[in-house]
Structure 1
């Protein structure tokens, strides 16, 4: 395991590690790929949100037998999910399942330019996302959760972090299935005091085309059956 910075957390959950092995396999069919991405996201999300949000007392309620009980809510009060298109869509349902209340989902479309491997933004539906660099606009969520199954070179994740900082979010949690050590370090260094990254695993190598080795292949292609496009 690479020497990772303190704001990077790699799960050691035994069930998650077994599911990650299943996901790596080229023989795993698309239906199972989708289920495995969901299951891994659920475990990583539970671990990340256990540290990333807090429980606070809410109003007194009553059980069906008429007994009073203390309710609990989570803080911060404003949270949004930010899946990176396309593959981040495969993680949304799992994180929505964990959160006690519905939260907005703001999509970011980023792709790597094939020659330079630099990120290019082609879609952004953050409300009023040009509110000003670093200034907390009225539309910005206090906590933004980036969903991106693979962190390779780190360029896409860095670009997403930059965009969310400009939007005005106060903290970012990045949830990912697998990352390359170099790319994860680059993403973690972009805003160390404001970003926490949670993953199921880390690979040491990248190919010259920016793919993880051994990796998972192209998760978007595997999810949406566009292999060989």
Structure 2
């Protein structure tokens, strides 16, 4: 797997990530969602540089111009709930893309540290021969992406897979690297070293879904 970690290069992403992590600023859920969306836009721009482009003739009021354009076979597939604002940021740049949504959540039986990832909803188009952007804002243990990969098997085989994340853990990235095709590319804004006993990223930013849309039962 090829890893594109943008934490290693200073850019405007630093500001968005700092605000997402800040315990005071992240209390503003609207700003939290907007910063997630902005990260999606920046990563989409960087990802777009690696796609296969085709020259297309464009007619202007005064003549014609050949312009290389990105492929139209992109599918953005996001994991709910935190994936929604991230999905929108990516869709802002790949606005002709098809869309898929996956419901996945951690089930901690009796509030124990151990958990299983339950995937109980898929809505996705045919992925055969397409460019799949698999959107998971928080890449913690990697087990959610593992279950999603298994769940998508019946939708066809993409020609290429790009995982797009806001923050990940070193452990989760290592695990995902071991289960996804070697040609997979990971686009991520920041990488943290640790996971706590419950599998949350440290220092991370907390529960992205709750911060974006409110706490759940």
SS of alignment partner, residue 193 of structure 1: coil
Q: Which of 25, 34, 45 matches 2:22?
A: 25
- CA drift at 1:139: 5.5
Q: Do residues 61 (structure 1) and 58 (structure 2) align?
A: yes
SS of alignment partner, residue 14 of structure 1: coil
Q: Which of 77, 86, 93 matches 1:91?
A: 86
How many aligned residue pairs are there?
208
> What TM-score does the superposition give when structure 1 sets the normalisation length?
0.84
Q: Which residue of 2 aligns with 1:74?
A: 70
Structure 1 distance, partners of 2:174, 2:127, is: 29
Q: Which residue of 1 aligns with 2:141?
A: 153
Q: Which residue of 1 aligns with 2:103?
A: 109
Give structure 2 stretches of 5+ with no counterpart.
Answer: none
Higher strand share: 2
Structure 2 distance, partners of 1:119, 1:196, is: 23
Higher helix share: 2
- CA drift at 1:110: 0.9
Q: Once superposed, what is the RMSD of the aligned Cα atoms? A: 1.8
SS of alignment partner, residue 215 of structure 1: coil
- CA drift at 1:50: 1.6
List structure 1 runs of 4+ shifted beyond 6 angstroms. none
Q: Summarize deviations over 1:194-217 as a string: whole Å, max 9, x none.
A: 311110101111111111111110
Structure 1 distance, partners of 2:89, 2:4, is: 19
Give structure 1 stretches of 5+ with no counterpart.
Answer: 1-5, 128-137
> What TM-score does the superposition give when structure 2 sets the normalisation length?
0.88
